[in-house]
Amino acid sequence: MRSSGGVAVSSELAVQCSGVTKRFGAQAILDAVDLTIRGGSFLSVIGPSGCGKTTLLRVIAGLADIDGGEVLVHDERLRGPSRRCAVVFQNYGLFPWKSLYNNVAFGLVVQGESKAAVREKTEYFIDLVGLRGHEHKFPYEVSGGMQQRAGLARAFAVSPEVLLMDEPFAAVDAQTRESLHAELLRIWEHHRCSVLFVTHSIEEAIVLSDDIVVMSANPGRVLARFTVPLPRPRREEEIVNEPAFTSLRREIWSLLHHRDRGGSPGASDLAALASNAGEGDRP
């Protein structure tokens, strides 16, 4: 194990994507993508629309086939959906005909847990995400923030080794999103798993992550990888004015903006990337 801002991170790899290629017809969505996630670490993937972020997440979840390369989850080659992984979707992914309680319990029931274990774990995570008193309501009866808390509780309840999150907070307002950031980090720091978090927000990626991967589009490729130089635990309101936060945000924004305009990094851009990307995409 080694430390990431005071939090233990394994030297072992939870996920390894090697040369992953995905096509839809003649169009390449992902092109020879190499990506690693260290055990117990939080990795965000950011890039322009259409760069294949969600497709990459679905590939790692075993929900999409690939046309080349391979994906290993804890050294096992992925051949379909894995019980090692849980997914939190942008649209919450809750069953509208089930109460929040039964939504949180769903994965445990599918895994064949005993009734006592289902009840114990469901009640624990209901309490952990602050849904006590609302657990018997249906999704349409609560706010988007509460729905996403239920989604988090359901994902963590099955004790995933890898948690895959596809822009889970994009549909909520800024104040709720900040609250959910704090909630997610609090739960993650107590129930450590490896996280891949897809986002369009540079600020969100910096607040949450140990590492950030920047992708380019047409086709989707890994453009750069950055290590976030801010210690944990983090309070969003305390770090947004830190020079390290501002510098990293500016660099990622500049890189994305340059690529969106169809350019490629010049010598000064590449020098900056080399100084900030650390070990790149290696563990």
- pLDDT tens, 238-257? 898 899 999 999 999 999 88
Per-residue pLDDT, averaged over 165-186, amounts to: 89
Q: Is the pLDDT of residue 1 over 60?
A: no
CB 87 within 8 A of CB 61: yes
Residue 36, strand partner residues: 16
Q: What percent of the chain has pLDDT over 90?
A: 67
Q: How confident is the model at residue 11 (pLDDT cuts 50, 70, 90)?
A: low
Higher pLDDT, 62 or 267: 62
Q: How confident is the model at residue 259 (pLDDT cuts 50, 70, 90)?
A: low
C-alpha closest to that of 265 among 255, 257, 274, 275 = 255
Q: Is the pLDDT of residue 233 over 70?
A: yes
- pLDDT tens, 88-116? 988 778 999 999 999 999 999 999 999 99
Q: Is the pLDDT of residue 24 over 70?
A: yes
pLDDT at position 26, please? 85
233 preceded by cis ω (within 30°)? Answer: yes
Q: What percent of the chain has pLDDT over 70?
A: 87
pLDDT at position 201, please? 93
Q: Is the pLDDT of residue 209 over 60?
A: yes
CB 51 within 8 A of CB 216: yes
What is the average pLDDT value for the chain, to the nearest integer?
Answer: 86
Q: How confident is the model at residue 218 (pLDDT cuts 50, 70, 90)?
A: confident
User: Ranked by mean pLDDT, which of 5-9, 14-18, 22-26 comes out on top?
Assistant: 14-18
Point out the least confidently predicted range of 17-26, 36-45, 178-187, 259-268.
259-268
- pLDDT tens, 32-58? 999 999 999 999 999 998 899 999 999
